[in-house]
Structure 1
Protein backbone atom coordinates (compact mmCIF):
# COMPACT_ATOMS: atom_id res chain seq x y z
CA UNK A 1 0.00 0.00 0.00
CA UNK A 2 1.19 3.45 -0.82
CA UNK A 3 1.46 6.30 1.62
CA UNK A 4 -0.40 9.49 0.74
CA UNK A 5 1.43 12.25 -1.07
CA UNK A 6 0.09 15.54 -2.36
CA UNK A 7 -1.01 13.74 -5.53
CA UNK A 8 -3.22 11.21 -3.78
CA UNK A 9 -4.35 13.17 -0.72
CA UNK A 10 -7.78 13.23 -2.41
CA UNK A 11 -8.07 9.59 -1.36
CA UNK A 12 -9.84 10.98 1.71
CA UNK A 13 -12.41 12.64 -0.56
CA UNK A 14 -12.85 9.37 -2.45
CA UNK A 15 -13.54 7.61 0.84
CA UNK A 16 -16.07 10.26 1.88
CA UNK A 17 -17.81 9.82 -1.47
CA UNK A 18 -18.64 6.20 -0.71
CA UNK A 19 -21.76 7.78 0.80
CA UNK A 20 -23.75 9.12 -2.13
CA UNK A 21 -27.19 9.78 -3.57
CA UNK A 22 -28.78 6.50 -4.66
CA UNK A 23 -30.63 7.96 -7.65
CA UNK A 24 -34.04 7.42 -6.04
CA UNK A 25 -34.15 10.13 -3.40
CA UNK A 26 -32.20 8.22 -0.75
CA UNK A 27 -28.62 7.71 0.35
CA UNK A 28 -26.44 4.81 -0.82
CA UNK A 29 -23.43 3.46 1.03
CA UNK A 30 -20.78 1.61 -0.97
CA UNK A 31 -19.28 0.18 2.23
CA UNK A 32 -22.14 -1.86 3.68
CA UNK A 33 -20.26 -5.16 3.68
CA UNK A 34 -16.69 -6.49 3.38
CA UNK A 35 -17.18 -7.11 -0.36
CA UNK A 36 -17.97 -3.43 -0.91
CA UNK A 37 -14.85 -2.36 0.98
CA UNK A 38 -12.76 -4.93 -0.90
CA UNK A 39 -13.96 -3.56 -4.25
CA UNK A 40 -13.37 0.05 -3.22
CA UNK A 41 -9.94 -0.57 -1.66
CA UNK A 42 -8.72 -2.60 -4.63
CA UNK A 43 -9.76 0.21 -6.99
CA UNK A 44 -8.32 3.07 -4.90
CA UNK A 45 -5.55 1.89 -2.58
CA UNK A 46 -4.45 -1.72 -2.51
CA UNK A 47 -4.98 -4.04 -5.50
CA UNK A 48 -4.60 -7.23 -3.46
CA UNK A 49 -6.59 -6.14 -0.41
CA UNK A 50 -9.41 -8.36 0.91
CA UNK A 51 -11.60 -6.94 3.68
CA UNK A 52 -13.15 -8.67 6.64
CA UNK A 53 -15.69 -7.45 9.18
CA UNK A 54 -13.03 -5.83 11.41
CA UNK A 55 -11.53 -3.86 8.51
CA UNK A 56 -15.00 -2.77 7.40
CA UNK A 57 -15.89 -1.49 10.87
CA UNK A 58 -12.56 0.37 11.16
CA UNK A 59 -12.86 2.04 7.75
CA UNK A 60 -16.50 3.02 8.34
CA UNK A 61 -15.55 4.61 11.67
CA UNK A 62 -12.67 6.44 10.00
CA UNK A 63 -15.00 7.62 7.22
CA UNK A 64 -17.38 9.05 9.85
CA UNK A 65 -14.46 10.99 11.35
CA UNK A 66 -13.39 12.27 7.93
CA UNK A 67 -16.91 13.40 7.06
CA UNK A 68 -17.16 15.18 10.44
CA UNK A 69 -13.94 17.04 9.66
CA UNK A 70 -15.17 17.82 6.16
CA UNK A 71 -18.29 19.31 7.74
CA UNK A 72 -16.04 21.49 9.88
CA UNK A 73 -13.95 22.46 6.84
CA UNK A 74 -16.98 23.76 4.91
CA UNK A 75 -18.22 25.98 7.76
CA UNK A 76 -20.02 28.35 7.88
CA UNK A 77 -21.84 26.54 5.06
CA UNK A 78 -24.00 23.57 6.02
CA UNK A 79 -22.53 20.04 5.96
CA UNK A 80 -23.75 17.32 3.66
CA UNK A 81 -27.39 16.48 4.49
CA UNK A 82 -26.30 12.86 5.02
CA UNK A 83 -24.27 13.97 8.05
CA UNK A 84 -26.13 16.96 9.44
CA UNK A 85 -27.96 15.07 12.21
CA UNK A 86 -25.24 12.61 13.20
CA UNK A 87 -21.80 14.17 13.04
CA UNK A 88 -19.02 12.76 15.20
CA UNK A 89 -17.77 15.48 17.59
CA UNK A 90 -14.75 17.22 16.04
CA UNK A 91 -12.33 16.47 18.94
CA UNK A 92 -13.24 12.77 18.70
CA UNK A 93 -12.76 12.84 14.92
CA UNK A 94 -9.34 14.49 15.21
CA UNK A 95 -8.26 12.04 17.92
CA UNK A 96 -9.40 9.04 15.87
CA UNK A 97 -7.64 10.31 12.75
CA UNK A 98 -4.36 10.87 14.60
CA UNK A 99 -4.54 7.54 16.43
CA UNK A 100 -5.23 5.57 13.27
CA UNK A 101 -2.56 7.43 11.25
CA UNK A 102 0.06 6.41 13.84
CA UNK A 103 -0.69 2.68 13.63
CA UNK A 104 1.98 1.98 11.05
CA UNK A 105 5.24 3.87 11.49
CA UNK A 106 6.59 5.33 8.28
CA UNK A 107 10.05 6.26 7.13
CA UNK A 108 10.85 9.03 4.64
CA UNK A 109 12.80 8.03 1.53
CA UNK A 110 14.51 10.71 -0.56
CA UNK A 111 14.39 10.47 -4.36
CA UNK A 112 16.39 13.01 -6.35
CA UNK A 113 16.65 12.48 -10.08
CA UNK A 114 19.35 14.35 -12.00
CA UNK A 115 17.06 16.96 -13.59
CA UNK A 116 14.31 17.16 -10.96
CA UNK A 117 13.53 18.53 -7.54
CA UNK A 118 14.01 16.21 -4.57
CA UNK A 119 10.91 14.21 -3.67
CA UNK A 120 10.16 12.49 -0.38
CA UNK A 121 8.25 9.23 -0.40
CA UNK A 122 6.89 7.78 2.86
CA UNK A 123 6.90 4.01 3.25
CA UNK A 124 5.78 1.74 6.03
CA UNK A 125 8.74 0.96 8.24
CA UNK A 126 8.04 -2.77 8.31
CA UNK A 127 7.05 -3.01 4.65
CA UNK A 128 3.37 -3.67 5.40
CA UNK A 129 0.87 -0.89 5.80
CA UNK A 130 -2.51 -0.84 7.52
CA UNK A 131 -5.36 0.27 5.20
CA UNK A 132 -6.90 2.56 7.81
CA UNK A 133 -3.50 4.14 8.54
CA UNK A 134 -3.05 4.91 4.83
CA UNK A 135 -6.54 6.43 4.68
CA UNK A 136 -6.02 8.44 7.86
CA UNK A 137 -2.73 9.85 6.60
CA UNK A 138 -4.43 10.74 3.31
CA UNK A 139 -7.14 12.57 5.26
CA UNK A 140 -4.54 14.47 7.28
CA UNK A 141 -2.70 15.44 4.09
CA UNK A 142 -5.97 16.58 2.51
CA UNK A 143 -7.18 18.57 5.53
CA UNK A 144 -3.80 20.26 5.99
CA UNK A 145 -3.37 20.95 2.27
CA UNK A 146 -4.64 23.60 -0.13
CA UNK A 147 -7.63 21.59 -1.39
CA UNK A 148 -9.37 21.94 1.99
CA UNK A 149 -10.10 25.61 1.20
CA UNK A 150 -11.99 24.55 -1.93
CA UNK A 151 -13.97 21.75 -0.26
CA UNK A 152 -17.73 22.22 -0.46
CA UNK A 153 -20.86 20.22 0.38
CA UNK A 154 -23.22 19.93 -2.58
CA UNK A 155 -26.66 21.23 -1.68
CA UNK A 156 -28.54 20.20 -4.78
CA UNK A 157 -31.77 18.33 -3.99
CA UNK A 158 -31.02 14.82 -2.71
CA UNK A 159 -27.24 15.14 -3.09
CA UNK A 160 -25.01 14.21 -0.13
CA UNK A 161 -21.58 14.57 -1.75
CA UNK A 162 -18.59 16.73 -0.88
CA UNK A 163 -16.57 18.10 -3.79
CA UNK A 164 -13.56 20.26 -4.63
CA UNK A 165 -14.63 23.57 -6.14
CA UNK A 166 -12.75 23.72 -9.46
CA UNK A 167 -13.80 27.22 -10.60
CA UNK A 168 -15.20 30.32 -8.85
CA UNK A 169 -18.81 29.94 -10.03
CA UNK A 170 -19.13 26.21 -9.31
CA UNK A 171 -22.00 25.54 -6.90
CA UNK A 172 -22.63 21.81 -7.31
CA UNK A 173 -20.56 18.65 -7.47
CA UNK A 174 -21.58 17.79 -11.03
CA UNK A 175 -23.79 19.15 -13.82
CA UNK A 176 -26.68 16.78 -13.01
CA UNK A 177 -26.89 18.31 -9.53
CA UNK A 178 -26.95 21.80 -11.04
CA UNK A 179 -29.81 20.74 -13.30
CA UNK A 180 -31.77 19.29 -10.35
CA UNK A 181 -31.23 22.49 -8.35
CA UNK A 182 -32.43 24.69 -11.24
CA UNK A 183 -35.50 22.50 -11.83
CA UNK A 184 -36.33 22.60 -8.10
CA UNK A 185 -36.02 26.41 -8.05
CA UNK A 186 -38.18 26.68 -11.17
CA UNK A 187 -40.90 24.50 -9.62
CA UNK A 188 -40.71 26.46 -6.37
CA UNK A 189 -41.12 29.81 -8.18
CA UNK A 190 -44.09 28.58 -10.22
CA UNK A 191 -45.76 26.81 -7.32
CA UNK A 192 -45.89 29.85 -5.04
CA UNK A 193 -48.21 31.98 -7.27
CA UNK A 194 -50.59 29.03 -7.68
CA UNK A 195 -50.57 28.42 -3.92
CA UNK A 196 -51.37 32.05 -3.21
CA UNK A 197 -54.31 32.01 -5.66
CA UNK A 198 -55.89 29.17 -3.74
CA UNK A 199 -55.83 31.08 -0.45
Structure 2
Protein backbone atom coordinates (compact mmCIF):
# COMPACT_ATOMS: atom_id res chain seq x y z
CA UNK A 1 0.00 0.00 0.00
CA UNK A 2 1.38 3.42 -0.91
CA UNK A 3 2.41 6.02 1.64
CA UNK A 4 -0.12 8.39 0.07
CA UNK A 5 -2.96 5.93 0.61
CA UNK A 6 -1.91 5.14 4.18
CA UNK A 7 -1.61 8.82 5.13
CA UNK A 8 -4.94 9.72 3.55
CA UNK A 9 -6.67 6.70 5.05
CA UNK A 10 -5.49 7.79 8.50
CA UNK A 11 -6.77 11.32 7.91
CA UNK A 12 -10.07 9.90 6.66
CA UNK A 13 -10.78 8.13 9.94
CA UNK A 14 -12.32 11.54 10.74
CA UNK A 15 -15.58 11.57 8.80
CA UNK A 16 -18.84 13.42 8.38
CA UNK A 17 -21.37 12.05 10.84
CA UNK A 18 -24.76 13.64 10.30
CA UNK A 19 -25.82 17.29 10.15
CA UNK A 20 -22.79 19.36 11.07
CA UNK A 21 -21.21 16.52 13.02
CA UNK A 22 -17.83 14.84 12.75
CA UNK A 23 -17.34 11.17 13.59
CA UNK A 24 -14.23 9.29 14.62
CA UNK A 25 -13.38 5.92 13.10
CA UNK A 26 -10.75 5.37 15.80
CA UNK A 27 -12.79 5.64 19.00
CA UNK A 28 -11.42 2.51 20.68
CA UNK A 29 -8.29 0.37 20.70
CA UNK A 30 -10.30 -2.34 18.91
CA UNK A 31 -11.16 0.18 16.14
CA UNK A 32 -7.44 0.91 15.73
CA UNK A 33 -6.55 -2.79 15.62
CA UNK A 34 -9.15 -3.42 12.88
CA UNK A 35 -8.04 -0.34 10.92
CA UNK A 36 -4.35 -1.29 11.06
CA UNK A 37 -5.06 -4.87 9.98
CA UNK A 38 -6.81 -3.51 6.87
CA UNK A 39 -3.43 -1.96 5.92
CA UNK A 40 -1.13 -4.91 5.25
CA UNK A 41 2.56 -4.48 5.80
CA UNK A 42 2.33 -1.94 8.62
CA UNK A 43 2.36 -4.41 11.50
CA UNK A 44 2.52 -8.06 12.40
CA UNK A 45 -0.87 -9.73 11.90
CA UNK A 46 -1.09 -10.65 15.59
CA UNK A 47 -0.56 -7.09 16.86
CA UNK A 48 -3.30 -5.70 19.12
CA UNK A 49 -3.74 -2.02 19.97
CA UNK A 50 -4.05 -0.73 23.51
CA UNK A 51 -5.16 2.66 24.83
CA UNK A 52 -1.62 4.06 24.66
CA UNK A 53 -1.31 3.12 20.98
CA UNK A 54 -4.74 4.61 20.28
CA UNK A 55 -3.78 7.90 21.95
CA UNK A 56 -0.51 8.03 19.98
CA UNK A 57 -2.22 7.41 16.63
CA UNK A 58 -5.00 9.92 17.32
CA UNK A 59 -2.40 12.52 18.32
CA UNK A 60 -0.52 11.82 15.10
CA UNK A 61 -3.76 12.10 13.11
CA UNK A 62 -4.39 15.61 14.53
CA UNK A 63 -0.89 16.64 13.42
CA UNK A 64 -1.37 15.05 9.99
CA UNK A 65 -4.69 16.81 9.38
CA UNK A 66 -3.09 20.14 10.33
CA UNK A 67 -0.30 19.49 7.84
CA UNK A 68 -2.79 18.45 5.13
CA UNK A 69 -4.67 21.71 5.72
CA UNK A 70 -1.38 23.57 5.34
CA UNK A 71 -0.58 21.64 2.15
CA UNK A 72 -3.84 22.59 0.38
CA UNK A 73 -3.28 26.32 0.84
CA UNK A 74 -4.33 28.70 -0.62
CA UNK A 75 -7.39 26.44 -0.77
CA UNK A 76 -9.57 26.09 2.31
CA UNK A 77 -8.93 23.24 4.77
CA UNK A 78 -11.50 20.59 5.48
CA UNK A 79 -14.46 22.07 7.40
CA UNK A 80 -13.73 19.52 10.15
CA UNK A 81 -10.33 21.12 10.70
CA UNK A 82 -10.95 24.80 10.08
CA UNK A 83 -11.61 25.72 13.71
CA UNK A 84 -9.26 23.36 15.49
CA UNK A 85 -5.99 23.05 13.63
CA UNK A 86 -2.75 22.64 15.52
CA UNK A 87 -0.21 25.38 14.81
CA UNK A 88 2.13 24.36 11.99
CA UNK A 89 5.24 24.20 14.19
CA UNK A 90 3.46 22.00 16.75
CA UNK A 91 2.11 19.69 14.03
CA UNK A 92 5.58 19.31 12.49
CA UNK A 93 7.19 18.66 15.86
CA UNK A 94 4.55 16.06 16.75
CA UNK A 95 4.87 14.26 13.40
CA UNK A 96 8.67 14.16 13.54
CA UNK A 97 8.78 13.07 17.20
CA UNK A 98 6.28 10.30 16.49
CA UNK A 99 8.32 9.06 13.52
CA UNK A 100 11.46 8.99 15.69
CA UNK A 101 9.82 7.09 18.58
CA UNK A 102 10.87 3.70 17.23
CA UNK A 103 14.34 3.28 15.68
CA UNK A 104 14.32 1.54 12.31
CA UNK A 105 16.73 -0.25 10.04
CA UNK A 106 16.49 -0.59 6.26
CA UNK A 107 15.49 -4.06 5.09
CA UNK A 108 15.61 -5.38 1.54
CA UNK A 109 12.51 -7.36 0.55
CA UNK A 110 12.69 -9.36 -2.68
CA UNK A 111 9.76 -11.63 -3.47
CA UNK A 112 10.43 -14.64 -5.70
CA UNK A 113 8.25 -13.29 -8.53
CA UNK A 114 8.69 -9.57 -7.99
CA UNK A 115 11.00 -6.63 -7.83
CA UNK A 116 13.20 -5.83 -4.84
CA UNK A 117 12.09 -3.05 -2.54
CA UNK A 118 13.61 -1.34 0.47
CA UNK A 119 11.55 -0.95 3.59
CA UNK A 120 12.17 0.42 7.08
CA UNK A 121 11.49 -2.02 9.90
CA UNK A 122 11.77 -1.60 13.68
CA UNK A 123 15.31 -2.13 14.89
CA UNK A 124 15.83 -5.56 16.48
CA UNK A 125 15.33 -5.55 20.21
CA UNK A 126 13.27 -2.38 20.31
CA UNK A 127 10.44 -2.78 22.82
CA UNK A 128 8.32 0.22 21.92
CA UNK A 129 5.26 -1.84 20.94
CA UNK A 130 2.65 0.86 21.61
CA UNK A 131 4.67 3.43 19.65
CA UNK A 132 5.22 1.16 16.65
CA UNK A 133 2.00 1.81 14.69
CA UNK A 134 2.16 5.57 15.24
CA UNK A 135 5.83 5.65 14.19
CA UNK A 136 5.11 3.60 11.04
CA UNK A 137 2.16 5.84 10.16
CA UNK A 138 4.22 8.99 10.83
CA UNK A 139 6.93 7.79 8.46
CA UNK A 140 4.33 7.11 5.75
CA UNK A 141 2.89 10.60 6.31
CA UNK A 142 6.35 12.18 6.03
CA UNK A 143 7.06 10.36 2.77
CA UNK A 144 3.66 11.46 1.39
CA UNK A 145 4.03 15.10 2.48
CA UNK A 146 7.56 15.27 1.04
CA UNK A 147 6.60 13.43 -2.15
CA UNK A 148 5.07 14.39 -5.48
CA UNK A 149 1.46 13.50 -4.58
CA UNK A 150 1.27 16.39 -2.09
CA UNK A 151 0.97 18.87 -4.98
CA UNK A 152 -2.32 17.23 -6.03
CA UNK A 153 -3.79 17.20 -2.50
CA UNK A 154 -7.16 18.93 -2.09
CA UNK A 155 -9.78 19.35 0.63
CA UNK A 156 -13.22 18.36 -0.60
CA UNK A 157 -15.48 21.41 -0.47
CA UNK A 158 -18.78 19.57 -0.91
CA UNK A 159 -21.36 20.36 1.78
CA UNK A 160 -20.64 18.43 4.98
CA UNK A 161 -17.57 16.63 3.60
CA UNK A 162 -14.48 16.54 5.82
CA UNK A 163 -12.18 14.56 3.49
CA UNK A 164 -8.88 15.27 1.82
CA UNK A 165 -8.08 13.62 -1.52
CA UNK A 166 -5.41 13.50 -4.20
CA UNK A 167 -6.72 15.00 -7.43
CA UNK A 168 -6.31 12.29 -10.06
CA UNK A 169 -7.50 14.14 -13.16
CA UNK A 170 -7.77 17.83 -14.14
CA UNK A 171 -11.56 18.10 -13.81
CA UNK A 172 -11.85 16.36 -10.42
CA UNK A 173 -13.36 18.74 -7.86
CA UNK A 174 -14.60 16.40 -5.12
CA UNK A 175 -13.33 13.36 -3.27
CA UNK A 176 -16.16 11.11 -4.54
CA UNK A 177 -18.97 11.35 -7.09
CA UNK A 178 -21.53 11.47 -4.26
CA UNK A 179 -19.90 14.69 -3.00
CA UNK A 180 -20.19 16.16 -6.49
CA UNK A 181 -23.90 15.27 -6.50
CA UNK A 182 -24.42 16.90 -3.08
CA UNK A 183 -22.61 20.05 -4.23
CA UNK A 184 -24.72 20.29 -7.40
CA UNK A 185 -27.96 19.76 -5.45
CA UNK A 186 -26.95 22.44 -2.92
CA UNK A 187 -26.15 24.91 -5.73
CA UNK A 188 -29.47 24.12 -7.42
CA UNK A 189 -31.41 24.74 -4.18
CA UNK A 190 -29.51 27.97 -3.58
CA UNK A 191 -30.33 29.28 -7.08
CA UNK A 192 -34.01 28.36 -6.83
CA UNK A 193 -34.63 29.41 -3.27
CA UNK A 194 -37.42 31.98 -3.09
CA UNK A 195 -36.44 35.18 -1.33
CA UNK A 196 -38.40 35.98 1.83
CA UNK A 197 -41.31 38.38 1.30
Q: Same fold (TM over 0.5)?
A: yes
**Aligned partners of 1:41 and 1:49 also within 8 Å:** no
SS in 1 for 2:195: helix
SS in 2 for 1:168: coil
What does residue 88 of structure 2 align with? 90
Distance 1:156 1:9, change over 3 A: closer
The alignment status of 1:168 with 2:166, answered yes or no, reads no
Q: Which has the larger radius of gyration?
A: 1
Q: Which of residues 157, 160, 163 in structure 2 aligns to 1:158?
A: 160
TM-score by length of 1: 0.87
The alignment status of 1:12 with 2:10, answered yes or no, reads no
Runs of 5+ in structure 1 lacking a partner?
A: none
Q: Which of residues 121, 124, 128 in structure 1 aligns to 2:122?
A: 124
**Aligned partners of 2:11 and 2:164 also within 8 Å:** yes
TM-score by length of 2: 0.87
Compute the displacement of 1:111 (Å). 5.7
Tell me the C-alpha RMSD between the 2 structures.
Answer: 2.3
Compute the displacement of 1:11 (Å). 0.8
Q: 1: distance between equivalents of 2:108 and 2:36?
A: 27
Runs of 5+ in structure 2 lacking a partner?
A: none
Q: 1: distance between equivalents of 2:118 and 2:90?
A: 30
Q: Encode CA deviations 1:170-193: one digit per residue, 9 max, x unaligned.
A: 0000000000000000000011xx
